[in-house]
Structure 1
């Protein structure tokens, strides 16, 4: 039900604050750069510590603060059978990163061919020749090159050879980052949205397009927008009912969302359905980015549609009470 094929991407992309996109063959660093490297899935609070350091380092040394990240996720290419689910789609990640003040965001297409670059080839071709790196900010346990054979000591040696310095992110900071990434995925899978949002530093989002459903919600007096996520590898939280919001026509709209199988009507596949409290119009085929604020309950199979309707009414009251604390 949640299987996927490896996403395809054929070029380097370079994003600026003005959202200009160029192939890397056209990319020219404005000046020498300070670079950090990683997947940065979710761009959570641990990642932001690194990015804050990167940006400050760039300003202090008059270097272009540059993030080199990858798409698809390396595990999706090298471990075909992995059931990896990501916290952010490439579009969601780019949206967040473009708001942080980086000078350059480069998304590299991760392929098997790219994975076969030796450590020296990666450093010389990408970091030195293309990015003009003068400083690399990286974790003590970072590994790179073919078969991940090189480590930070090798990077320091290349730095001496090619004229860049290496700033190490220490073990404690790396532990904080890895733990928060792990906890976010674990928390979402367990329905612990409070923990997930705390580690993210923002409300978890699901982006997608509104598609047609069976119309049952409207019959019950709770019309819903059925969301089809943009990417099949997006981590969908544990099934249940959530308080959510979305921006529609420059206005924040609140509502409640059900992730589940619709067991009361013998559903056979997972659906994501949002009922907006102050929005009753046709949203079919429109893009929607939904923010998850609070989990209310598990999905339940009711004995009748009347019982389901009564529960939805209670859910709505509980959701509205919670929303009142946000406004």
Structure 2
């Protein structure tokens, strides 16, 4: 897959089969749409093009909303789309100027002149242009003039996309990892750099890799203990993850840590990917560190038992 960081970087291709959206999470609903454009491209000898936006439009149009969290970062989304066989991904820098184009200008300048659209797969509720006044009817009206075909995504499929996105975010925030993974079609994961912590876990007998996620907009699951698989330096390992403020020691910051089983390599400053498979328990404040250590022993047993189950493997 070729990635373009602006429309200006893209050269129109022959028989471009296009769809547009944020595709946050690239979940099972999105994959139905992607499968459709791939079918159309194959039948017409064309190439698939996805037009997406970054920053997310809501971040620009509603900067006061600090609660906007996304299932995937832009890099994670690009990787997932690449694995689905998409030919071209255009990541358009979203701005107020971009949003203020008229519907006609958007169709003419972006879809036709910049992309060379021959087929566009779009939902009945897709909106574009100034004040979001443009939509499916505008595309249908301009299709004969610019010689492109409009393929409407069924309403049920569009509803499935919206429901899936909402359900995934809620499930992650509730610790319902199994539900989130079912809707995603793959295990939810986070990516970050391993940073040096205060090494409390080491003194307790459970050394952890502390993860720093650089993108503040990345959605992090609810606090607690999780059964995870970790990928670092090309190798996959089982582990027990912790998300929380470490209330037993009156911690002030929210930490993301993972105790990687049977692992002792120095991975400071390395990139680590963590795949969430099961929620084990919520975060708890213990009366003493001794009680915490006892519970961690039980947690590790629970995690190991869960990971024996035929859990889905990394496919990202």
Please state if 1:143 is matched with 2:127.
yes
Residue among 53, 75, 80 paired with 1:96: 80
Query: Aligned with 2:92: secondary structure?
Result: strand
Residue among 30, 33, 38 paired with 1:50: 33
Give the structure 1 partner of residue 153 of structure 2.
169
Cα offsets for 1:258-316 (capped at 9, x unmatched): 10010010111211110000212222111111111100000111111111111111111
Please state if 1:38 is matched with 2:58.
no
In angstroms, what is the RMSD of aligned CA positions?
Answer: 1.3
Cα offsets for 1:132-159 (capped at 9, x unmatched): 1111100011111111001201110011
Please state if 1:256 is matched with 2:207.
no
Residue among 56, 78, 81 paired with 2:64: 81
Q: Distance in 2 between matches of 1:32 and 1:119?
A: 22
Give the structure 2 partner of residue 229 of structure 1.
213
Q: How many residues align?
A: 310
Give the structure 2 partner of residue 240 of structure 1.
224
Please state if 1:288 is matched with 2:288.
no
Give the structure 1 partner of residue 167 of structure 2.
183
Contact kept in structure 1, 2:232 and 2:273, CA below 8 Å = no
Give the structure 2 partner of residue 278 of structure 1.
262
Give the structure 1 partner of residue 91 of structure 2.
107
Q: Distance in 1 between matches of 2:68 and 2:4?
A: 28
Q: What is the CA distance between 1:32 and its match in structure 2?
A: 2.3
Q: What is the CA distance between 1:23 and its match in structure 2?
A: 5.5
Please state if 1:197 is matched with 2:181.
yes
Unaligned runs of 5+ in 2: 312-316
TM-score (norm 1): 0.92
